[in-house]
């Protein structure tokens, strides 16, 4: 009895079994500087993402635009051999308008614009050796041409590379109301769309001279879907505030186009990504010399998933500080946030069937994010914001058909800049 299939889809299942890695960068340079702990203090366009009820407490009109530079480096190890890889990307992060409407009591404002809070950036490159580990009697791994691997045979990865780019953007419309004194409510509705470009190449060999293989695949995936966020904020006085955000599960359609350089094969496909419910709670205190904000986040299990990473609750927490420096006419920020591993947050469906790989298990470490930021007040109406982000996390991919673990250690550095006019 034989496992007959393409060598590329079987012998390197660890490299390709993962869903797209998704980094949640968020919206707004001020929020970045606070470590994205912004649910209870949001007071600018970024409310469309963090807490739309914050719009109800913005007494001015705002025009906002931002951009960023992101660099990612990865140390990848397989079978005792390590290799590093780096990549950087320059992108447009957000642009929007906030309009405050005068009211006889309370407050009301709406916002509209575009942002790119999710990124598909991923890089890895490695060399190493793995051992075919299926002990089932009389079963071998075959490439369909009479070449095969038996239990205990070694396969050398001479060079394996994976590079992914792209963003998932949000075209948003939001509104916030003060429905009573100090209490606000808000809603954001967004159309999601974006594109991911992925390039994978592989060179392998076996000591028998069989399974010598090389391939090159370019994949283009287009996404479109819908996002709905509900927020609430309570400010009993000028010193204290509390905020909450509820993220309704997203439904994202996608279309893929794969091109195999070796034989010119083109493969098309489509499917659906579905997230689970997410929420956040924030508390903040504003003192004469410092503003302190803390957030806690929760992502519920996906109702259709019985095992794996999506079947568990995921939590996170963080704290941020904002210090005014009147002598420089500036604000300085610092923040830290932590979250449990949750970088593949979508369940994948093809023809309404949940896709899963019973042989592959992807685990990860906790994600740590450190931030610094500043705002320079250029005039009464104009501000310039900067933020720096450093975060790191690890992933481990295990395939039961293979002996070794594929380990990746990620480090991400991001620099954001935003320009705002308030009038």
What are 109-150's pLDDT values in tens digits? 999 999 999 999 999 888 888 888 776 655 555 555 555 677
Residue 336 CA, distance from chain mean position: 17
Residue 142 CA, distance from chain mean position: 37
Give the lowest-confidence range in 183-187, 212-216, 280-284. 212-216
Q: Characterize 371-395 residue by residue with b for buried, 16 or more Cβ atoms within 10 angstroms of its Cβ, and e for exposed.
A: bbbbbeeeeeeebebbbebebbbbb
For 241-275, the pLDDT digits (tens) are 999 999 999 999 999 998 888 777 888 889 999 99
CA distance 405 to 241: 46
Residue position matching structure tokens 């948003």: 172
- Say which residues have a Cβ less than 8 Å from residue 337's Cβ, sequence separation at least 6: 35, 36, 37, 295, 316, 317, 318, 319, 368, 369, 371
pTM (predicted TM-score) = 0.90
- Output Rg (C-alpha) for the chain, integer angstroms: 24
H or E, element range at 394: strand 382-399
Domains in the chain, start-ordered, CATH in brackets?
Answer: 2-137+148-422 (2.40.160.60)
What are the C-alpha distances in Å from 71 to residues 11, 123, 211? Answer: 30, 10, 35
How many Cα neighbours within 13 Å face the side chain of 59?
Answer: 3
CA distance 21 to 120: 6
CA distance 111 to 296: 25
């Amino acid at each position: 009895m034989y496992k007959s299939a393409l060598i590329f889809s079987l012998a390197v299942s660890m490299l390709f079994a993962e869903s797209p890695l998704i980094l949640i960068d968020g919206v707004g340079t001020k929020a970045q500087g606070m470590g994205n702990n912004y649910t209870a203090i949001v007071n600018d366009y970024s409310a469309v993402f963090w807490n739309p009820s914050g719009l109800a407490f913005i007494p001015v009109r705002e025009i906002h635009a931002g951009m960023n530079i992101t660099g990612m480096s990865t140390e990848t190890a397989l079978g005792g051999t390590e290799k590093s890889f780096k990549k950087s990307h320059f992108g447009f992060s957000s642009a929007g308008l906030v309009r405050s409407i005068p009211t006889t009591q309370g407050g009301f404002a709406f916002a509209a614009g575009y942002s790119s809070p999710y990124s598909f950036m991923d890089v890895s490159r490695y060399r190493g050796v793995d051992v075919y580990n299926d002990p089932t009697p009389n079963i071998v791994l075959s490439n369909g041409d009479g070449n095969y691997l038996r239990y205990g045979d070694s396969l050398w990865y001479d060079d394996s590379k994976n590079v992914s780019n792209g963003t998932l953007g949000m075209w948003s419309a939001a509104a916030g109301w003060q429905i009573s004194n100090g209490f606000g409510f808000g809603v954001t509705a967004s159309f999601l769309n974006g594109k991911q470009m992925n390039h994978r190449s592989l060179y392998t060999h076996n000591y028998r001279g069989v399974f010598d293989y090389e391939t090159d695949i370019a994949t283009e995936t287009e996404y479109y879907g819908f996002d709905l966020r509900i927020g609430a904020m309570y400010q009993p006085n000028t010193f204290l505030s509390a905020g909450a955000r509820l993220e309704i599960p997203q439904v994202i359609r996608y279309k893929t186009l794969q091109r195999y350089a070796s034989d010119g094969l083109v493969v098309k496909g489509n499917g659906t990504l579905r997230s689970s419910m997410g929420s956040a709670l924030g508390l903040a205190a504003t003192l004469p010399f410092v503003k302190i904000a803390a957030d806690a986040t929760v992502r519920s299990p996906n109702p259709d998933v019985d095992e794996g990473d999506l079947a568990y609750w995921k939590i996170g927490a963080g704290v941020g500080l904002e210090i005014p420096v009147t002598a420089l006419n500036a604000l300085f920020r610092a923040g830290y946030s932590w979250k449990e591993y949750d970088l593949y947050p979508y369940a994948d469906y093809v023809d309404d069937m949940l896709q899963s790989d019973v042989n592959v298990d992807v685990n990860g470490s906790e994600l740590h994010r450190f931030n610094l930021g500043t705002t320079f007040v250029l005039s009464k109406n104009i501000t310039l914001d900067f933020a720096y982000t450093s975060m790191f996390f690890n992933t481990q991919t295990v395939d039961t058909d293979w002996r070794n673990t594929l380990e990746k250690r990620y480090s991400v550095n991001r620099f954001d800049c935003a320009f705002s006019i308030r009038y």
